[in-house]
Amino acid sequence: MKLSGLTIAAAFVTGAVVFVGMLAQAQQGAPSATKQGGPAPLYNTAKAKLLAGKQVFSFTQSTNDPAGYCEKAKHYDYTWFEMQHSTLEFKDIEAMIAACPHVAATPMIRLPDAQEWHIQHATDIGVLGVIIPTVDDVDRAREGAKWARYPPIARRSAGQGQAASIWGINGINYRQTINDNMLVVIMIETPTGVANAFDIASVPGVDVVITGNNDLSSFSGFPQTDDRYQALVKKVHDDTIRAGKIFGQAAATYATGPHSYDARFFQNGPSNDGYVPPAGRGRGPVNVSAPPKGEEP
């Protein structure tokens, strides 16, 4: 059958519209459809809570301690594995995730940068989220998002690792579901990053933008009690919400109060059941006038 140029053009446009719709759905984290036609539930429970408008809190794991990790991870929304300011290696985190693979806290890593190999290693060992520090511009944000998800929306390559065996259970196809379950968190920690906040937050594949409170204070020279510092945080909040993304802060002392700015994603903070870890982090009153304790040095 001979097709006219008009017919071919119409078919091309229809296909392009369908592809763009699929891309937009994946970038917003909408669950993929199951074979039965309904939405697949997220196994990234921290992301599910965020999408439901709830706040999420972590504990920070900075040492290779599988038993200690497994105990603390029973009580929190997610684990902040610390690789920017610790000597943890990927093999250490891999072993801890394997020790209790389906514990309550969603495994996430704060990486030292946005390099491809770091993000590929993190995702292959089974984390469901990456946290990219000190993002000043769109290029770094794009790098963070690019390697965290599979094609056609990003550039993660297929590789070996325990991720598929951990999350690809009970009939779940890991390759087909992980893009929806991945959480890409960008940290803005400098005045330059604040100036570029809207463009950074607008990058497809970025899910959450948070302020790194201690470093933002350090780089700006403004104490966190200073109105000029709060103006920086508020700008990041306003730009993030305008871009349609989720806002958070590293310091859980800002979970409530006049400077919370509707923040929903925090490093550290209260557990879900009143548990207080041995280091003293856990449920307690939030005091926005106290020095933030949420971010590791």
The amino acid at 2: K
d(CA 53, CA 27): 18
Collect all residues with Cβ–Cβ distance below 8 Å to 255 and sequence separation of at least 6.
55, 57, 263, 266, 269, 270, 286
> How does 226-244 read in b/e, with b if 16+ C-beta sit within 10 Å?
eeebbebbebbbebbeebe
Q: Write down the pTM of the prediction.
A: 0.83
What confidence score (pLDDT) does residue 289 get? 38
d(CA 289, CA 56): 21
d(CA 77, CA 70): 13
pLDDT at residue 146 greater than cutoff 50: yes
pLDDT digits (tens, 9 = 90+) for 66-125: 999 999 999 999 999 999 999 999 999 999 999 999 999 999 999 999 999 999 999 999
Collect all residues with Cβ–Cβ distance below 8 Å to 280 and sequence separation of at least 6.
none
- Give me the CATH code for the 43-267 domain, please: 3.20.20.60
pLDDT digits (tens, 9 = 90+) for 257-291: 999 999 999 999 999 999 998 864 443 333 333 34
Q: What are the structural domain ranges in the chain? A: 43-267
Strands 106-110 and 78-82: parallel
